[in-house]
Amino acid sequence: MDKLLIDGGVPLHGEVHISGAKNAALPLMAASLLAPGMHTFSNIPRLRDIRTMLRLLEHMGAVCEDEARLAIDTRHIHTLEAPYELVKTMRASVLVLGPLVARYGEAKVSLPGGCAIGARPINLHLKGLEQMGAQVQLEHGYVVARADRLKGASIFLDQVTVTGTENLMMAAALARGTTTLYNAAKEPEVAALAEYLSRMGACIEGVGSDTITVRGVDDLTASHFTVIPDRIEAATYMVAAGITNGHLKLVHCRPEHLGAVTEKLKAAGLVIEIHGETVEVRGNGRIVSVGVKTRPFPGFPTDMQAQFMSLMALGDATSVIVEQIFENRFMHVLELKRMGADIELEGRTAVVKGVAKLSGAPVMATDLRASASLVLAGLAAEGTTEVHRIYHLDRGYETIEHKLAAVGARIRRVRE
Ligand code: EPU
């Protein structure tokens, strides 16, 4: 297992190229099951979760070539199953459920268990499919869904769910009749998927609003798509510039996807300028404590809560951070406290009293974004921080140590 060693205290300067978004790429790859043919995707990030999705598609019979662009040939799908071994390492595997039932009339997908950030049920995915006429049963830890042909339905999502919206949108694309999803997710990754589905021949309206209407068609055709830039990766590097009091130019971003984060970071004292697809971020020597509540897009993303908390750990007063999406997404708190942060946790609220400095320590986290927050804290801390279990980081941040080292961080990966 690898770990990262970070000697903190160096202001970061330079340019960082933002990669394609993991959470946009995964549903696009699952969507390839909707149409037999050669699907091609550019700007796919090289990440562990992407490799897991490729293994899953290959297990089903897809032929994948991952070169300058990713090509997925879905002409010979023979297995309609997502096995436990793959689903347990990546919950997003559940995204194959909608496409398989819609296209092949059957799917067997391991039920994801709870995970480090919360219970994360998929009841809304299943209820939506049932409303579209699927018979859904739980057998030996697997969801087994069957339908001759799904039919359009009016589906109210009790809670905003990103992959739930994506799964049902994909299922609806091949259903007979019209499906309306109420209280749908508005995340840019959902919009990107809708754009690819439309390119494949789907009829989708209302994307970006909370009501999405999908008029089902008989067939879809494989096409090409370029994955949107990763807004969470970009936002993480924005914090890296601020927490080290440095100056970073983030190249190839979509600033319109970063609105809530940009506003909060400006309120926290960072100087942020936007030029087209480049976001320039500078520290101004002082971090202002500000509160934040996580919300579905366009609100402040839960996927940035941990990283924002590292910044607030060095704030000039007290910040109140409320996690409203996942009930247990605070694994980073105890680790940040080991680095000298002053944080009190009560239910879904963290009260962060800024301290003058953090000190390097051995730390580890059990999820992706929590691990990123520890790297950020390590970049600002005095002395050496050892971040263990970095396979979590490798799930979602492309070559993070190279990107950081290229802008001056003293960071290296070593084998434990
Ligand atoms: N929920 C239910 N029932 C459902 C579905 C969701 O109760 O059937 C609840 C969840 O338990 C949670 C809330 O609804 O409390 C929102 O969950 P959502 O379904 O939106 O999360 P997700 O689709 O499983 C995606 C991202 C996550 C990101 C969340 C929230 C992907 C592959 N994953 O997860 O990304 O945190 O949306 O924005 O898109 C990450 O990248 O680190 C990550 C965890």
Kindly state the DSSP code that residue 20 receives in the 8-state scheme. Answer: B
Cα–Cα distance measured from residue 91 to residue 217, given in angstroms and rounded to the nearest whole number: 28
Close Cβ partners of 135 (under 8 Å, ≥ 6 residues apart): 145, 146, 147
Q: How far is the CA of 410 from the centre of ligand 1 (A)?
A: 34
In the chain, the amino acid numbered 65 is E
Q: How far is the CA of 9 from the centre of ligand 1 (A)?
A: 34
Mutate to test the pocket of ligand 1, among 117, 161, 236 (most ligand atoms within 8 A of CB): 161
pLDDT for the residue 32: 98
Please, which pLDDT band fits residue 115 given cuts at 50, 70 and 90? confident
Q: Residue 213: pLDDT above 90?
A: yes
Confirm or reject: Cβ of 397 under 6 Å from ligand 1: no
In the chain, the amino acid numbered 8 is G
- Name the strand (E) or helix (H) holding 30: helix 22-31
Q: How far is the CA of 162 from the centre of ligand 1 (A)?
A: 6
pLDDT for the residue 366: 83
**Contact in structure between 69 and 28 (CB atoms under 8 Å):** no
- Ligand 1 atom with the smallest distance to the CA of 127 is 8
- Ligand 1 atom with the smallest distance to the CA of 185 is 20
Looking up tokens 């940035």 gives: 304
Cα–Cα distance measured from residue 395 to residue 376, given in angstroms and rounded to the nearest whole number: 17
- Kindly report the number of other CB atoms within 10 A of residue 231's CB atom: 27
pLDDT for the residue 67: 86
Residue with CA at minimum distance from ligand 1 atom 40: 303
- Ligand 1 atom with the smallest distance to the CA of 126 is 8
Six token digits for residue 390: 């970095």
Per-residue pLDDT, averaged over 401-409, amounts to 98
Confirm or reject: Cβ of 23 under 6 Å from ligand 1: yes
Cα–Cα distance measured from residue 200 to residue 237, given in angstroms and rounded to the nearest whole number: 34
Mutate to test the pocket of ligand 1, among 127, 159, 397 (most ligand atoms within 8 A of CB): 159
* Alpha helices for 200-341 (secondary structure H): 231-243, 259-267, 305-312, 331-338
Confirm or reject: Cβ of 388 under 6 Å from ligand 1: no
**Contact in structure between 126 and 194 (CB atoms under 8 Å):** no
Closest CA to 412 of 400, 404, 401: 401
Q: What is the mean pLDDT of the chain?
A: 96
Residue with CA at minimum distance from ligand 1 atom 31: 23
Give pLDDT tens digits for 346-387.
Answer: 999 999 999 999 999 999 988 999 999 999 999 999 999 999
Confirm or reject: Cβ of 295 under 6 Å from ligand 1: no
Confirm or reject: Cβ of 161 under 6 Å from ligand 1: yes
- Ligand 1 atom with the smallest distance to the CA of 95 is 32
Give pLDDT tens digits for 263-282.
Answer: 999 999 999 999 999 999 99
Q: How many residues does the chain have?
A: 416
Burial of 154 (0-12, 13-18, 19+ CB in 10 A): exposed
Confirm or reject: Cβ of 162 under 6 Å from ligand 1: yes
Share of the chain above pLDDT 90, in %: 95
Mutate to test the pocket of ligand 1, among 131, 138, 300, 325 (most ligand atoms within 8 A of CB): 325
- Name the strand (E) or helix (H) holding 139: strand 135-139
Cα of 385 vs its chain's centroid, Å: 25
**Contact in structure between 411 and 5 (CB atoms under 8 Å):** yes
Cα–Cα distance measured from residue 237 to residue 16, given in angstroms and rounded to the nearest whole number: 8
Give pLDDT tens digits for 29-38.
Answer: 999 999 999 9
Q: How many CA atoms lie within 13 A of 159 on its CB side?
A: 15
Per-residue pLDDT, averaged over 25-44, amounts to 98
Q: Residue 224: pLDDT above 80?
A: yes
Cross-strand bridge partners of residue 226: 42
pLDDT for the residue 278: 98
Kindly state the DSSP code that residue 43 receives in the 8-state scheme. Answer: S
Give pLDDT tens digits for 288-331.
Answer: 999 999 999 999 999 999 999 999 999 999 999 999 999 889 99
Cross-strand bridge partners of residue 322: 293, 349
Cα–Cα distance measured from residue 141 to residue 151, given in angstroms and rounded to the nearest whole number: 26
Decide if 115 is catalytic. Answer: yes
Cα–Cα distance measured from residue 252 to residue 43, given in angstroms and rounded to the nearest whole number: 11
Confirm or reject: Cβ of 191 under 6 Å from ligand 1: no
Give pLDDT tens digits for 159-211.
Answer: 999 999 999 999 999 999 999 999 999 999 999 999 999 999 999 999 999 99
Q: Residue 261: pLDDT above 90?
A: yes
Q: Is 312 helix (H, G, I), strand (E, B) or coil?
A: helix
Burial of 19 (0-12, 13-18, 19+ CB in 10 A): buried
Q: How many CA atoms lie within 13 A of 344 on its CB side?
A: 5
- Kindly report the number of other CB atoms within 10 A of residue 8's CB atom: 24
pLDDT for the residue 416: 81
Closest CA to 262 of 300, 289, 314, 296: 300
- Ligand 1 atom with the smallest distance to the CA of 396 is 41
